[in-house]
Amino acid sequence: MTGNTGNTGNTGNTGNTGNAGNAGIAGEFGGGWIINDRVDLPFVTILDPIGSPNQLGELADVALTNFPDRSWTARWYAWRILHQLAGVDWQTPAQAALDLRRAAINFSSEIDALVLAARDERPDALAAIVAQDVEFITYFMAVLTITPGTHPMTYRLLHIASLIGSFGALHFKDHYSVARPSQRCPALLPPVPMPGHPSFPSGHATQAQLMRRCIAQMFSMTPLPPADRSVIESNVIALANSVARNREIGGLHYASDSLAGDDLAGTLFASLNTAPVSHYTDAVNDAVGEWS
């Protein structure tokens, strides 16, 4: 039976830009269940029970011709925004900031800092490192005290930031091709599989910092008291910083990767708020409506 331990190799599939998450995919609206119907008397053929001689199938709303925006699930709506972002030059300003960040890296001193983090912080941070490796949208939902059912549009906004952050980070990971800390210092022994893409910038940091910006923007447009908004913004900033830092403690990223991720998130956020990316504006406004 020990041969089955070979399946642990499949954990490598979690190699994440950060999969900020595909949290709750099975439970997203429009999927996750199976409905069986009768063979001899399909539901759609039943006569209208409240007086009309028509069958239920003849009572459909024929006026509905377009797929409603509200019916787009979170992860697929995010792709609509990515398609619009493709028409915006976000790469040029982002690269200017990242070039400066990359040029200032001192790998020797950064490795030394990661060694100390592995010794002093990793045992306490281990549970969070492992949990956040696969996804961390659930952490943001916990801080906001929401679920996909109670606040579907806010959940959608988190998915948007996750996908756009991953897309932007992967573009520059390919451009800079920086080796992972554990490739330079294998003794760091990260507690989760090393992702199958370069280190700089951190995808987890980019996604988390973009999430906190999008959430802060959304709350700035709600009628909540300023003091309440300030508390929420402080919470999401602290969470974003924690997600990024945990990747460093785990030996998966340099501190400079996290800083670069924050830089990139700022540029991506500015690009999302340009006229061509109209679906993002719609998504923010829809999320605001859940907090009014």
Residues 229-254, mean pLDDT to the nearest whole number: 97
Tell me what the mean pLDDT of segment 193-212 comes to. 98
Write the pLDDT tens digit of every residue in 86-127.
999 999 999 999 999 999 999 999 999 999 999 999 999 999
What is the SS3 assignment for the chain?
CHHHHHHHHHHHHHCCCCCCCCCCCCCCCCCCCCCCCCCCCCHHHCECCCCCCCEHHHHCCCCCCCCCHHHCCHHHHHHHHHHHHCCCCCHHHHHHHHHHHHHCCCHHHHHHHHHHHHHHCHHHHHHHHHHHHHCCHHHHHHHHCCCCCCCHHHHHHHHHHHHHHHHHHHHHHHHHCCCCHHHHCHHHCCCCCCCCCCCCCCHHHHHHHHHHHHHHHHHHCCCCCHHHHHHHHHHHHHHHHHHHHHHHHCCCCCHHHHHHHHHHHHHHHHHHCCCCCHHHHHHHHHHHHCCC
Name all domains of the chain by residue range, CATH numbers in brackets.
Answer: 69-289 (1.20.144.10)
Query: What is the predicted pLDDT for the residue at 271?
Result: 98
Residue 292's pLDDT is what? 83
